[in-house]
Amino acid sequence: MEAMKVWMMAMATLVAVCATAERETLRFNEGWSFARFGAMPDGTEKAEPQGVEKAAFDDSAWRMLNVPHDWGIEGPFRAELPNQTGKLPWAGIGWYRKTFDVPASDSGKKVFIDFDGAMSDSTVWLNGEYVGEWPYGYSSFRLELTPFLKPGQENTLAVRLDNKPESSRWYPGGGIYRNVRLVKTAKTHVAHWGVFVSTPVVSSDCATVQVRAEIDGAYDKVVHEIVETGKTGQGTTCRLSIDFPRRWDLDSPNLYTLKTTVFSGGEAVDEVETPFGIRTLSYSADGFFLNGKKVRMNGVCQHHDLGPLGAAVNTRALERQIEILQEMGCNAIRTAHNPPSPELLDLCDRMGMLVQVEAFDCWGKGKASNDYSRHFPEWHEKDLRAMIKRDRNHPCVVMWSTGNEIREQGNKAGHAISQRLTDIAHDEDPTRLVTAGCNNIKAGFNGFQKTVDLFGYNYKPHLYGEFRQKNPKQPFYGSETASTVSSRGEYFFPVSDEKHLGQGGHFQVSSFDLTAPPWANNPDVEFAAQDEYPWVFGEFVWTGFDYVGEPTPYNKDKTNLLNFSDPAERKRMEEELEKLGGNIPPRSSYFGIVDLCGFKKDRFYIYQARWRPELPMAHILPHWNWPERIGEGTPVHVYTSGDEAELFLNGKSLGKKVKGEYTYRLRWDDVVYQPGELKVVAYKNGKRWAENMTKTTGEAAKIELSADRKVIAADGQDLSFITVQVSDEDGRLVPRTHNLVTFSIEGPGEIIAVGNGDPTSHESFQALEHKVFNGLALVVVRSMTGDPGTIVVSAKSKELIAGRIELEAK
């Protein structure tokens, strides 16, 4: 049935997403057959057969599926797999095959295949003939199929991917995890990523739009038109003007479209549309300026995975991430540490987010034995050019990063590489400046800083002053900051200010936001540096969302698990580690301000308080369900955009606290726990500003379901994210609950992922049951193509009243 459904969708595969002049762009996502070899998900090995690339190869027993597809996220989690890459079976060999027809009338055309990303080391054959390859799993690439194509007949495309173990420091995913398109053009056509639009002169009266177009084949003329104004110009380079331009800005992300038409033999043979925005960027020692106005980058670093959905790209999942980040006041994303999906940049253009697009996590010297350093010598230029050519028309992109914490920061040979990468970036795009994320203290002083335009330190707030003294003119920012770690809804006592203690065992991390690994800081420390040095043009917090893999402090180095001052506790942990054979469970990060499912941790509110100072808000932590702590000291912290606040326990004032200079949280360290109601009233400039309340709840009584969107498109791609909450009778979230919940669905939708944000859980992300973690779980529902109707999701758990929600696919 499943195979049948996929197959029927495959019939509809070659649906044009766009057809103009002779160009056709066809979705190529549906109806692939797929099989794995080498390292298998269950830990066994399976020999890779010979001749899989041949058209005649029998793949009838293979699984049928649609891409974007991530084979790793399917699981299962395995205890013996590395924590660092998520304990998921993403390593191994994967083959995808797809047969398709091309009409005889296409002979004489050029036919290409575009991959937005395939993880990794891909090799492509058509009808048994080698077409090409592209090793870097994060790059977009185009291969030409024309010489091997049989118009009027059936064609077979075969793609082999090979994910080597030890090739990543985080969960990379595996498979054709981004979109694929078949592109047909006339012999004469606009080259791949061949249109470059920039806006060199912008004023409120007029903007100059500079166009450069590369054309493949012989042409008579090239005409450009700004669709919104009807203004036209001619040539492979030309300048057009727009009167009274509507600028692209954070709160008014206006876009224009340039239509480029190529004429050959007297006819229009090709046409492409390029969205662009009109805005100015400038950087100085004083900061970053967007359209002439100083803007502090309140940024986050984001890895590419989408939590329980894995690496498989989904536009709505990305959009939801951006919505949550914007609610916090975040205005910038760093695509750590690789080129993003094109969809992310389209969304950032549309939603008004600044983006730093980053190329690499390593250059020639690797960080893992099979990582990109293997390919860097031969491929760095192709990958860097591909990234910049693809992304240089996006107004959201405000800088390029050539690398993160690359190991060559310390020596002259490395500086030469850095200079070369910067030069390549300037060559492809003279309109944007180049940076790199530096962790080597010396990089700000040893000449490395001169090889980039914008200098960023990772985790060095104590060096900002010295950097400025020695580099008075260079624009500067925190390229990676904080790296605070916490588990949503976990609190350990006593509350410790020692940043790398504080973990309470059981592989969770306390959510008082005081814990960070040795190189890192809590948010407050970075805020203080940004306030002390207002010329710092911003920060990129590690990270906005939790991601799969790198579960520091339980990552590769397990010695910190024994950081107990109490010898009895230490002994207990030693015994536990012994029992686990060293295979400790954590599999996803604790760094996120938001957890893996998109649920806010407490930290969200310390950033919101700072980044949206005009929003009246106050947030209390921890929750107030501590029956075992009656009469014990139980500290309370408050994050607020106010400047002082008064705390009340069961109506009795526990005193007012005032934010001093360089303090960003209010603390009542001596609160003695009594159940009941904890309330805070915040003030700003002496006036009542915001309130927040938390209350000891009743017993868990029911499951409540709520959706981020109840109406979704019936297009087989749109998603509804359903929050599953364990509530007491009054509908209050009951903290510390871990009930197992089972789900069912009726109507034209499917449950494609479940999760709960617990970094230690090995429950499948692709099941119809999941435990809640501290009261919450997530169910992700996807619509079906062309199948509208009512979708009903139900959730049941022993001893709780079941929950139910209706969605509408339209």
| Residues known to be catalytic | 405, 480
Q: Which is nearer to ligand GAL, 520 or 617 (CB)?
A: 520
Considering only residues 551 to 610 of the shown chain, the ones binding ligand GAL according to CB under 6 A are 552
Q: What are phi and psi of 85, to 5 degrees?
A: -110, 25
∠ Cα 492 496 500 (to 5°) = 95
Per-residue binder mask for ligand GAL (CB under 6 A), 278-317, x = binder: ----------------------------------------
Stretch 333-372 residues interacting with ligand GAL (CB under 6 A)? 337
Identify the DSSP state of 5. H
How far apart are CB 581 and ligand GAL at their closest, in Å? 25
Of 410-439, binders to ligand GAL (CB under 6 A) are 439
Q: What share of the chain is helix, strand, coil (3-state, %, to 5)?
A: 20, 35, 45
**Measured from the CB of residue 31, what is the shortest distance to ligand GAL in angstroms?**
37
Of 115 and 376, which CB lies nearer to ligand GAL in the complex structure? 376
Q: Is the peptide bond before 586 cis (omega within 30 degrees of 0)?
A: no
Q: Does 520 bind ligand GAL (CB under 6 A)?
A: yes
**Could you give the CA distance from residue 65 to residue 309 in angstroms, rounded to a whole number?**
16
Residue among 439 and 496 whose Cβ is closer to ligand GAL = 439
Which residue is it, tokens 């090239």?
222
Task: Give the tokens for residue 567.
Answer: 């010898």
Q: Which of 121, 371, 408, 480 binds ligand GAL (CB under 6 A)?
A: 480
Nearer to ligand GAL, 173 or 277 (CB): 173
Indicate the residue among 124 and 596 with the shorter CB distance to ligand GAL: 596
Q: 3-class secondary structure for 675-739?
A: CCEEEEEEEECCEEEEEEEEECCCCCCEEEEEECCCEECCCCCCEEEEEEEEECCCCCECCCCCC
Contact 688, 643 (CB under 8 A): no
CB 191 within 8 A of CB 183: no
Which CB sits closer to ligand GAL, 314 or 483?
A: 483
Q: Which of 383, 405, 526, 728 binds ligand GAL (CB under 6 A)?
A: 405
Q: What's the closest the beta carbon of residue 591 comes to ligand GAL, in angstroms?
A: 6
What pairs with residue 600 in β-bridges?
Answer: 594
Q: Which residues contact 256 (CB under 8 A, 6 or more apart)?
A: 209, 226, 227, 228, 242, 246, 275, 276, 277, 278
Hey, what are 715's tokens? 């297009």
458 near ligand GAL, rule: CB under 6 A: yes
Position with the least CB separation from ligand GAL: 483
Nearer to ligand GAL (CB atom), residue 291 or residue 439:
439
For the beta carbon of residue 357, count every other beta carbon within 10 angstroms. Answer: 25
Closer CB to ligand GAL, residue 406 or residue 680? 406
Number of residues that bind ligand GAL (CB under 6 A): 12
Q: CA 347 to CA 547: how far, in whole Å? A: 20
| Degrees to nearest 5, angle at CA 604 with 598 and 606 | 175
Nearest distance from C-beta of residue 136 to ligand GAL, angstroms:
17
199 counts as binding ligand GAL under rule CB under 6 A: no
- Minimum gap (Å) between residue 302 Cβ and ligand GAL: 11
Binder of ligand GAL out of 193, 542, 554, 624 (CB under 6 A): 542
Query: Exactly one of 155, 314, 373, 404 binds ligand GAL (CB under 6 A); which one?
Result: 404
Minimum CB separation of residue 520 from ligand GAL in Å reads 5
Min dist. Cβ of residue 317 to ligand GAL (A): 22
Give the three-state DSSP class for 631: coil
3-class DSSP state of 56: coil
3-state secondary structure of 487: coil
Indicate which single residue of 483, 515, 521, 783 sits in contact with ligand GAL (rule: CB under 6 A): 483
Interaction with ligand GAL in 497-516: which residues (CB under 6 A)? none
Residue type for 664, please? Y
Q: How far apart are CA 485 and CA 504, in angstroms?
A: 13
Taking the complex as a whole, how short is the minimal distance between the CB of residue 703 and ligand GAL, in angstroms? 35
Residues that bind ligand GAL (CB under 6 A): 337, 404-405, 439, 458, 480, 483, 517, 520, 542, 550, 552
